[in-house]
Amino acid sequence: MNKPYGVLSQFTPEPGSRWGCLSDLVPIPRVYAAGRLDADSEGLLVLTDHGRLQKQLTDPRFGHWRVYWAQVEGSPNRDQMHKLESGVIIQGKRTRQAHVSCLEGSNSPTVAEREPPIRVRKNIPTSWLELKLKEGRNRQVRRMTAAVGLPTLRLIRHRIELKNGEPAFSIEGLNPGQWRQLSSIEANCLMSLLKNPAADQRG
């Protein structure tokens, strides 16, 4: 699923919340999101009814790269990029090593307009970064970019890359709010994760 802005990563609405929930968009019972995105973030969610598979996809010990596109305020310099890659201190703990690159020119992402649009300050440029992380701490990408002076204005999880080298799962071809069933190849790829002995030993 390509989760849009303003939707919680759960199927039950929060009492008194201004945010929507997944049941507004996905009419399938007894599934839940393998991993979360904040309501103000967008992008890839894998929905499943399989508990062990959910653990495989979300536990950082299993080493799946999560790839995010972040539209930030400002133009990143070499020092800021190095800090993001080598680790910054957020909430009293250093982040793990990451892969970070600028998305510019022909590599600039093509994304749907967000509703509501991001705030734009006339005299300050914005830039797109791609960040690949193996951990998923609370609001991690936003905290990381803020720590180096590049506040995140828009955040999209673009894909998940599996440790076993199988193809990534991405939001390519899905507009915000759209979802699709996995292909048989994708489903077999996911289920193959459960054949890893480490998966059984850890839970």
Hey, do 1-63+164-203 and 65-161 end up sharing a CATH topology, with the first three levels equal? yes
Neighbouring CB atoms inside 10 A of 155's CB total 22
What does the pLDDT look like over 40-91, one tens digit per residue? 999 999 999 998 888 888 877 777 889 999 999 999 999 999 999 999 999 9
pLDDT band at 200; cut points 50, 70, 90: very low
Ranges of each domain in the chain? 1-63+164-203, 65-161
- In this predicted structure, what is the pLDDT of residue 174? 96
Count CA within 13 A, CB hemisphere, residue 106.
Answer: 0
* Alpha carbons 160 and 182: distance in angstroms, whole number: 14
| Cis? peptide before 116, omega within 30° of 0 | yes
The rounded mean pLDDT for the chain is 90
- In this predicted structure, what is the pLDDT of residue 201? 43
Q: Is the pLDDT of residue 199 over 70?
A: no
- Point out the residues that are catalytic: 38
Q: Is the pLDDT of residue 135 over 90?
A: no
- In this predicted structure, what is the pLDDT of residue 164? 58
Q: Say if pTM beats, i.e. exceeds, 0.85.
A: yes
CATH topology of domain 1-63+164-203: Alpha-Beta Plaits (3.30.70)
| Cis? peptide before 176, omega within 30° of 0 | no
- What's the rounded mean pLDDT across residues 106-131? 90
102: helix, strand or coil: strand
What does the pLDDT look like over 117-128, one tens digit per residue? 998 888 889 999
Q: What is the CATH number of domain 65-161?
A: 3.30.70.1560
